[in-house]
Amino acid sequence: MVAPSRLAHVEAGRGGVFAVDGLGCLRSSMEPAHVSYLVAFWNLENFFAPESYVGREPWVAKAMQKDLGGWTEALFKRKVAQLASIIRQMKNAAGPDVLGVCEVENQFALQALADALNEALPARRYELVHVDAVREQRGIDTAFLFDAKQLTANRDELFSHWVMRRTGTRDITQITFVTASGKQIVALANHWPSRSSSAGEGPEYSAGFRATAGETLAYWHDRIREEKGDDVAVIAMGDFNDDPFDKSVTIHAQGERDKGDVQRAKSAKFYNFAWDYMTQSVLDHNGRKRLLNGTLYFGSDAAVFDQIMVSPGLLTGKSGFRVIDGSARIEAYPEATSHRVGEGSIRFGLPGGNAAKNVNTDGYSDHFPVSVQIEEA
């Protein structure tokens, strides 16, 4: 039975009575309740504090001087509102329990988003997990928002893993979340090196950097298993800037397509849920059906760079958690979905010296969020 304090209302339907709890989960009163969590990831696309923000690191201010020209407080607040309007719709309008993010400048920007979500979703209390990545060329970070009413972040197990390469890149942020029942899940937020470069080289030039990022993720996955046991719940998410079939993911990060192989493996492997949402039928912002073939569109070509991978214990339930079958998806809402062939999510953009030309205040991000639901086993 669902605890009365969690119930929002009860609905009668074929097959019995269903309880809808305060976090948007439909449950049968004939079945035992399992606490479920929606874990999502979103590349927020150049989510910088306003141009006038006085706490900006001087080197970031210098590097981003042109791009942030005209990034007013009004535009920043509009960006926050646009992002929050999508995030609040997740999990049947209850919001995610954990949201990994990338392309966020600093704690100021992230806190503004958390405040907007807490105002929109009073049943939630979002808090931050954030470490400044001092080596990234533009000063953008990976981070987490999480509902502190549902989970605790063990700050003693907060790590920022440096991805070694010739020039600066985003760190991998690792945190252990603990449920009310004491179960632990280790989450890692990734933003692997870009395919583009100032010199115009193609993805082949930068492939080695992403291979290094994949090796870094695999290394820390192995260390986590050594510390917490082979059945530990580990969930790695991020914008990998490579597709699920690229070597950086399959070979270097050990992200597999076959669940059976992952469950039987003696080494540290992940199952990659991106294979579950390689295509997805959605409604565009005109209300018409269209097929998405990726989480972003890059030069008119679809790509599935935004991925969620889990350790074997999240498939078997031996970790104390289990992924809910069929729950992995692209969080593509009509208002954020372009109707144009060769386009995906509707971008917000950055001024780049010309806000009128480069900013779309009705946009969101150049990436769609992705998500998966897990439940306590």
pLDDT, one tens digit per residue, over 251-271 is 999 999 999 999 999 999 999
8 Å CB contact between 2 and 69: no
- pLDDT, tens only, 55-101: 998 988 998 999 999 999 999 999 999 999 999 999 999 999 999 99
DSSP string, 180-227: TTS-EEEEEEEEPPPS--TT---HHHHHHHHHHHHHHHHHHHHHHHHH
Residue 100 confidence (pLDDT): 98
So what's the pLDDT on residue 136?
A: 63
Q: Do residues 285 and 334 touch, judged by C-beta distance below 8 A?
A: yes
Min mean pLDDT across 118-132, 141-155, 192-206 is at 192-206
Rounded to whole angstroms, the Cα distance separating 363 from 93 reads 20
The mean predicted confidence, pLDDT, of the chain is 90
The dihedral through the CA atoms of 220, 97, 88, 343 has a sign that is: positive
Domain annotation for the chain: domains and CATH numbers? 1-33 (no CATH), 35-376 (3.60.10.10)
- pTM over 0.85? The answer is yes
Mean pLDDT, range 240-260, rounded to an integer: 97
Cα–Cα dist 376/296, whole Å: 31
Which amino acid does the sequence have at 221? H
The pLDDT of residue 201 is 65
pLDDT tier at 196, thresholds 50, 70, 90: confident
pLDDT score at 245: 98
pLDDT of amino acid 197: 59
pLDDT for 138: 80
